[in-house]
Amino acid sequence: MTTVDLPLLPLGRGTDLDTERGVECPGDLPPASDPNLVERARVAKEKLGERLFILGHHYQRDEVIQFADVTGDSFKLAREAAARPEAEYIVFCGVHFMAESADILTSDEQTVILPDLAAGCSMADMARLGQVEDAWDALADAGVGDVVVPITYMNSSADIKAFCGRHGGAVCTSSNAEVALRWAYEQHGPDTKVLFFPDQHLGRNTAVLQLGLSLDDCVVWNPLLPNGGLTTEELRAARIILWKGHCSVHGRFSPDVIDELRAKDPEINILVHPECTHEVVLKADLIGSTEFIIDTIRKAPAGSSWAIGTELNLVKRLAQAHPDLSISFLDRNVCYCSTMNRIDLPHLVRTLESLVAGQVLNVIDVDDDTEHWAKVALDRMLALPAKAPADD
Ligand code: 13P
Ligand code: SF4
């Protein structure tokens, strides 16, 4: 392996996978508090000018978000990337599946970069293509394969999105899961079933609270058990087959804390993301996507009090931006998303300075076939109405 002499930050071995491009990881991460890093990022960004577009997911650290040209949820960011054809380099400060979606929706002339390739998503990793294919085969064996529509949450790998594209399904996000499920149930008449992955909680919350299905209509497919842990009769009777996946952050909020908070402050508003468990969502006042949470707080009356169940970086920023509100994090035992937090200022500086030096690190490049079918599933989602008729 060739070592290229570049003005790179001393990153720890194993944090980046740049060997294909001939760059060896030269050391440990410096502390993020290094005051020079802010200036170095600013200078490198300025040098790259219009050639660079930095996207920052709402859950990113402050030290990174300050350099984002646009912030948003995963879906908004992918669209923003697609709307910037003049940008040669899209640096995605988020996690792997988001960078893949940006690569799928941008042109071949644009390069999507993830500053740390180890920034994955534990939820997305809970549904692997081979496992999903096994579930699909089991549904066919149960005699219901012809009426199943696969719907995958945006938080899934590109090959899972492509699976949905190939099999008449679609992608959804936390903002349009209801619309996507209603569309799915129109595909094969009253017998239609949905296979929903990877987040069982988003699937259950949407099916039960927005579509009016019962908990008995839902079964959970455990990919680690033979036949998903389900009998053929259970598969035949189910209206929605939920993948046994969850978010390691949102899945940890607890309904008990909501009771405690309400006992202390009966006026408190509980606002949570639909990746939280059904028990938490049932006790909340308002449920919605990251963008919905931001919008709700923006419109909240001065003096009102809120406990928010979503990623801590975002909740802290909301609290700072709205000093006229009382905003708290919903649970003292839930921590930051560890993979989102892998993108830190040292990684961003290294990415930008490498680009200035002509080295493109950590490229996310989805293969053509996967890209084609994943785009089919994404385009089906884009063709859906923005809101369910019942919401109007
Ligand atoms: P959104 O960005 O779609 O709100 O998803 C939440 C999340 O957990 C992202 O990783
Ligand atoms: Fe994945 Fe949850 Fe982290 Fe989002 S917050 S990246 S869903 S683990």
Secondary structure (H, E, C), the chain: CCCCCCCCCCCCCCCCCCHHHCCCCCCCCCCCCCCHHHHHHHHHHHHHHHHEEEEEECCCCHHHHCCCCEEECHHHHHHHHHCCCCCCEEEEECCHHHHHHHHHHCCCCCEEECCCCCCCCCCHHHCCHHHHHHHHHHHHHCCCHHHEEEEEECCCCHHHHHHHHHCCCEEECCCCHHHHHHHHHCCCHHHCEEEEECCHHHHHHHHHHHCCCCHHHEEEECCCCHHHHCCHHHHHHCCEEEECCCCCCHHHCCHHHHHHHHHHCCCCEEEECCCCCHHHHHHCCEECCHHHHHHHHHHCCCCCEEEEECCHHHHHHHHHHCCCCEEEECCCCCCCCCCHHHCCHHHHHHHHHHHHCCCCCCEECCCHHHHHHHHHHHHHHHCCCCCCHHHC
> Which atom of ligand 2 is found nearest the CA of 248?
8
- 155 Cβ inside 6 Å of ligand 1: yes
User: What residue spans in the chain does CATH classification 3.40.50.10800 cover?
Assistant: 3-12+249-336, 31-120+341-366, 124-247
* Distance from Cα 144 to the centre of ligand 2, integer Å: 32
User: Structure tokens of 330?
Assistant: 């919903």
- For position 333, what pLDDT does the model report? 79
For tokens 């606002």, name the residue. Answer: 271
* Distance from Cα 275 to the centre of ligand 1, integer Å: 9
- For position 45, what pLDDT does the model report? 98
Alpha carbon distance 199, 245 (integer Å) = 5
Alpha carbon distance 274, 289 (integer Å) = 7
> Which atom of ligand 1 is found nearest the CA of 247?
8
Query: Going by CATH, does the domain composed of 124-247 fall within 3.30.9.10?
Result: no
For tokens 């300050």, name the residue. Answer: 66
Residue nearest to atom 6 of ligand 1 (CA): 290
- For position 32, what pLDDT does the model report? 58
Instruction: Give the torsion through C-alpha atoms of 354, 360, 366, 368, to 10 deg.
Output: 160
Question: Which ligand ends up closest to the CA of 253?
Answer: 2
- 294 Cβ inside 6 Å of ligand 1: no
User: Structure tokens of 86?
Assistant: 């003049």
Residue nearest to atom 1 of ligand 1 (CA): 73
Residue nearest to atom 6 of ligand 2 (CA): 121
For tokens 């089919």, name the residue. Answer: 376
Residue 240: φ, ψ to 5°: -140, 130
> Which atom of ligand 1 is found nearest the CA of 275?
8
- For position 31, what pLDDT does the model report? 55
- 113 Cβ inside 6 Å of ligand 1: no
* Distance from Cα 246 to the centre of ligand 2, integer Å: 9
Question: Which ligand ends up closest to the CA of 289?
Answer: 1
Classify each residue of 236-271 as buried b or exposed e, where b means 16 or more C-beta atoms within 10 Å of its C-beta: eebbbbbbbbbbbbbbbbbbebbeebeeeeeebbbb
Pocket, ligand 2, Cβ cutoff 6 A: 59, 95, 121-123, 155, 247-249, 311, 337, 339-340
Which residues of the chain are under the pLDDT cut of 50? 1-30, 391-392
Residue nearest to atom 9 of ligand 1 (CA): 74
* Distance from Cα 357 to the centre of ligand 1, integer Å: 33
- For position 8, what pLDDT does the model report? 25
CATH among 3.40.50.300, 3.40.47.10, 3.30.70.20, 3.40.50.10800 for 3-12+249-336 = 3.40.50.10800
* Distance from Cα 75 to the centre of ligand 1, integer Å: 9
User: Structure tokens of 274?
Assistant: 């639909």
| Predicted structure pTM score | 0.89
* Distance from Cα 233 to the centre of ligand 2, integer Å: 33
Question: Which ligand ends up closest to the CA of 339?
Answer: 2
Residue 316: φ, ψ to 5°: -65, -40
The CATH superfamily label for domain 31-120+341-366 reads NadA-like (3.40.50.10800)
Residue nearest to atom 4 of ligand 1 (CA): 290
